[in-house]
Every structure is written in structure tokens, then in C-alpha cells.
Amino acid sequence: MVNITNLHKKFNKNKVLSGVNLEIDNSGIFAVLGPNGSGKTTLIKSILGMVIPNKGKISVLGKDIKHSSAYRHQIDYLPQIANFPSNLKVKELIKMIKDLRGKTKMDLELIKRFKLEPFLDKKLGTLSGGTKQKVNIVLTFMFDSPLIILDEPTTGLDPISLIQLKELIQSEKSKGKTILITSHIMSFVEEVSDEIVFLLEGQIYFKGSTSALKIKTNEQDFERAIASILKENHA
């Protein structure tokens, strides 16, 4: 699905990724974790082609992504901060993205699921953070792509919407899709993810299941296991 070899990226003098090798072949939910500034978003944006790597190769579904844009038809991406053009109505934004990417009917179901009907005629600039995130989720999930990338999907969501989101993620997984998630909410990660990819100082420190991580760090609790990695490497 996604193949990354020897990925390097620096912004000016700040080295963010230094030799990341990652192979995700099967379907399932993969959580990309790491402390702030460890390069999670840079990694994700490199896969999307928004960040251009200094060195290394990325291929999605067996094709090198360099100089290509069509491969993004196979990716649904939920950006970290839902910043939309503020003078556009919700309805218009959905219509526009459909116009750019192709036809779909899944948006109606998603709008119902997240109870967005009353907001359809409102301008995006007037929406609250949580509602914007719901619109963001609708835009992401309304296309049936084999690879889904979610950057901090839980930001601003109320408990009901959070449950809806988890159900949605599970139902997409059952369709055999690959889902990449970054999040700082450890309980959410532990609940949904099948495998963890832990980034530290621009490299992959650990890749495996949550139980394997607990064994490796000798901790019972997932959150503590993560914390112990961080402590070890800062001491």
C-alpha cells in the first residue's frame, strides 16, 4: 500500500525526518505516534506530496509518487486544522470538492450521521471548531478510497461525534482499507489501532502492535509505555 525508503527532509537547518523506512502492505489501522515535532505531520504530508522530500522514495499502491498527482485519487486525507475558505457555505464546499474529485453519494449519509443538516447553508467562517471538524470528516470519508489518512481526527469533537467517528473508522476498516492515524489521545489510539508506528527524532523507533509495545517497555498500561519511551530517550 505505502512504501517509504530512506526518507529525508529538513526545513532550512531543522532536520525533521532522517532516514525513515516504512512499509505498510496490509489493511488495518496504523497509528503514527511520537512527541511534538517528531515529524508525524511531515511524514504524512510527504505521502500526500504536499511536502517534497530531500531524499528517499515513496510509493503508494506500487507507484512512485514523484511528479504525479493522480495517485491522490486513492487517498482520503483529513488535515490537522480544519481551515476552510470562510466565505463559502458548507453545501458549496462539499459540492466543490465533489466537482474536483468526482461523483459520490456518500456525503448525504455522512451528513446525516454527524447531524450537519442545519449547518449546510451556513458559511464556514461562522462554524465552531467542532462543527468544522465534522465537515472536515464528511469531506474526507465521502470518497471510497483504499487509503485513508487522518491527522488528529478527534480534535474538537463531542463524545457523540467521537463515537460516530470510531464506528465510521471501524466500518471503513472492515471494507479492507488501510487507515493511517496520528493522535495525541492515547486512549483513542489504543482503542482503534491495530499497529503502532512510533517516530522519534526523525526515525522510526518502534513498529508493531500495542501489546508488543507493552512487552518491550515492561509496562502494563499503554499510556505509560509511550511515556517510558519518551523518558528513556530524554534521560
Partner 1 sequence: MLKILKYSFFDLMRSRWSYVYFAFYLLLGIVLLFLNNDLSKAVITLMNVIIILVPLIGTIFGVMYYYNSKEFTELLLAQPLKRSSIFLGQYLGVALSLSMSLILGLGIPFIFYGLFQSSAIWDFSLLLVTGTFLTFIFTALAFNMALSNENKIKGFGYAILLWLFFAIIYDGVFLMSLILFEDYPLDKLSLVGTMLNPIDLSRTLILLKLDISALLGYTGAIFKKFFGTNFGLITSLSMLSLWVILPVLRIVFKAKRKDF
Residue 214 CB, nearest approach to partner 1 (Å): 34
Nearer to partner 1, 83 or 233 (CB): 83
The yes or no reply on residue 48 touching partner 1 (CB under 8 A) is yes
Which listed residue (52, 118, 175, 235) binds partner 1 by CB under 8 A?
52
C-beta of 21 vs 68, nearer to partner 1: 68
Contact range with partner 1 by CB under 8 A, out of 20-28, 32-40, 71-79, 172-180: 71-79
Burial 7-38 (b: 16+ CB within 10 A, else e): bebeeeeeebbbebebebeebebbbbbbbeeb
Retrieve residue 2's grid coordinates. Answer: 505505502
Pick out residues in 92-131 that bind partner 1 (CB under 8 A): 96-97, 99-101
Closer CB to partner 1, 42 or 161, in the complex: 42
Relative to beta strand 2-11, strand 14-24 is antiparallel
Stretch 191-230 residues interacting with partner 1 (CB under 8 A): none
β partners of residue 78 = 150
Q: Does 84 bind partner 1 (CB under 8 A)?
A: yes
Query: Which positions ≥6 away from 159 have C-beta within 8 Å?
Result: none
Instruction: Give the binding-site size for partner 1 (rule: CB under 8 A).
Output: 25
Q: Residue 124 is placed in which grid cell?
A: 464556514
Closer to partner 1 at the Cβ: 36 or 69? Answer: 69
Distance, CA of 109 to CA of 116 (rounded, Å): 10
49 contacts partner 1 (rule: CB under 8 A) = yes
> Residue 170: CB partners within 8 Å, gap ≥ 6?
192
Separation in Å, CA 32 to CA 74, 85, 124, 209: 20, 28, 29, 12
Q: Give min distance, CB of 89 to partner 1, in A.
A: 11
Q: Does residue 72 contact residue 22 with C-beta atoms inside 8 Å? A: no
Site string for partner 1, 3-22 (x = CB under 8 A): --------x-----------
By CB under 8 A, name the binding residues for partner 1: 11, 45, 48-52, 69-73, 75, 77, 79, 83-85, 87-88, 96-97, 99-101
